Amino acid sequence: MGERLRVVLVGPLPPPMGGIARGVEMLRRAQQVRAEVDLRVVDIGLRWRSIHRMSAGARVRDGARQLLRSTLLLTWECVRRRPGVVHLRSSGGLGAVRDVALVLVARAFRVPVIYQLHFGRVPDIAARNTGEWRLMRLALARAATVVAIDRHTERAIIEALPGVRAVRLPNGFDPSVLPSPSPTGHRLTRRVLYAGWVVPSKGVEELLEAWQTLDTSGWTLQLSGSCEDDYRRYLLERYGCDGSVVFTGELAHPALLREMAGCDIFVLPSHTEGFPNVVVEAMALGRPVVATDVGAVADMLADGCGSVVPPRRPAELAGALADLMRDGALRQAMGDRARSRALGEYAMDEVAAAVVRLWRSVVPAAGSPRPATPVAPAGNRGG
């Protein structure tokens, strides 16, 4: 084997355990990455600000603090190690300011940048030419490669910036950490599980509104994820949550996977997503999934692997949940199809191998032709 590739991966590390943070953690633990890559992570995770209901002033102040820290850390890595590639993983929003700064730092040291977008709003913000999109264009135009999480994002980038090299890669999951799925056939009480930050943008209010309209006899709705006390009180007061709704707070990943393995239905009603890890994990555990049509979700749950509904539509969300709640055979068939797809297309070994190929593809010196070979796993090429 040749010289180990030096890579700086810019992304969040847990805690908190968001989808991008989990993906960064899994990637740096992947066997092929550990064997072939000298990988350093510049952690841009939230360390100071609240996840919900922050004032604009606090967001700007703490965002500036995070920007300064991450810029200094990346500059130090570029000076000290001269990496072959910088891989920046972004969730957009105000982070677009940071993205531009970090791309410019890497380019100042003549280090090629891979810019990976982990959210599904790109077609909308590009069509509206928002301030966020105009900032992102500065980073996109200077990246050696842009990684999209779904086909709609990939297409929007290619149409807006024809000269940009864009590829599509899924998130991966580690099958070795999954518990065995729990049998659900003889339970007296069944459970619908939501896992993620308990914030408005995740659709929890639409979920609770839908839950109010369902016959929930013998069922519970479990909300597992970070939730601030004042917001939980608001939800309890606004939606009159009875004993069928349970808030657990954030769970450690192994504990969350055990809860997922034992649920009857997994639900993710988000307003926006990229390629949500929790959906992949629920699929791999054979759980039937109801999720909103955002980001790559429709691709993930295609061919009967789950039920997809429009975001912000509690009535349609309730209908999809009701269909599964009253039909055990449908839950079983959907879960079986989902498990087969997840294990066949999204296992971390395959995804990590594709990422390493992508890293190596941008290392040649400026002016050298880039490889034409696709880097995406076979199940995710094309559009």
In tens, the pLDDT along 293-306 reads 998 999 999 999 99
Mean pLDDT, rounded, for 269-298: 94
> Using CA atoms, how far apart are residues 174 and 350, in angstroms rounded to an integer?
10
CB 322 within 8 A of CB 294: no
> Using CA atoms, how far apart are residues 196 and 251, in angstroms rounded to an integer?
10
Please give the pLDDT value at position 366: 39
Q: Where residue 110 falls among pLDDT bands split at 50, 70, 90?
A: very high
Which is higher by pLDDT, 377 or 214?
214
> Using CA atoms, how far apart are residues 99 and 306, in angstroms rounded to an integer?
34
Q: Where residue 181 falls among pLDDT bands split at 50, 70, 90?
A: confident
Q: Where residue 185 falls among pLDDT bands split at 50, 70, 90?
A: low
Please give the pLDDT value at position 55: 64
Q: Where residue 169 falls among pLDDT bands split at 50, 70, 90?
A: very high
Where does 82-142 have alpha helices with state H?
95-108, 122-128, 131-142
Mean pLDDT, rounded, for 99-125: 95
Helix axes 19-29 and 348-361, enclosed angle (nearest 10): 80
Handedness of CA 191, 194, 199, 200 (dihedral sign): negative
60-88 pLDDT tens trace: 777 788 889 999 999 999 999 999 999 99
Share of the chain above pLDDT 90, in %: 73
Please give the pLDDT value at position 47: 58
Please give the pLDDT value at position 248: 96
Which amino acid belongs to residue 45? G
Q: Where residue 104 falls among pLDDT bands split at 50, 70, 90?
A: very high
Share of the chain above pLDDT 70, in %: 89
Please say if the pLDDT value at position 200 is more than 60: yes
Mean pLDDT, rounded, for 41-51: 72
Q: Where residue 27 falls among pLDDT bands split at 50, 70, 90?
A: very high
218-245 pLDDT tens trace: 999 999 999 999 999 999 899 987 789 9
Going by C-alpha positions, the residue among 178, 199, 380 that lies closest to residue 296 is 380
Please say if the pLDDT value at position 371 is more than 60: no
Of the candidate ranges 65-69, 106-110, 166-170, the one whose mean pLDDT is the lowest: 65-69
318-369 pLDDT tens trace: 999 999 999 999 999 999 999 999 998 999 999 999 999 999 999 964 344 4
For 265-296, give the DSSP string. Answer: EEEE--SS-SS-HHHHHHHHTT--EEEES-TT
Please say if the pLDDT value at position 3 is more than 90: no
Backbone φ and ψ for 190, nearest 5 degrees, come out as: -110, 165
| Mean of all residue pLDDT scores within the chain | 89
Beta strands 5-11; 265-268: pairing state = unpaired
Going by C-alpha positions, the residue among 38, 54, 22, 69 that lies closest to residue 256 is 22
For each of the domains in the chain, give its residue range(s) and CATH number, in order of start: 5-172+347-380 (3.40.50.2000), 175-345 (3.40.50.2000)
Query: What torsion do the CA atoms of 234, 240, 246, 252 make, to the nearest 10 degrees?
Result: -20
User: What does each C-alpha distance from 131 to 93, 94, 97, 154, 226 come to in angstroms?
Assistant: 10, 10, 10, 20, 29
Please say if the pLDDT value at position 374 is more than 80: no
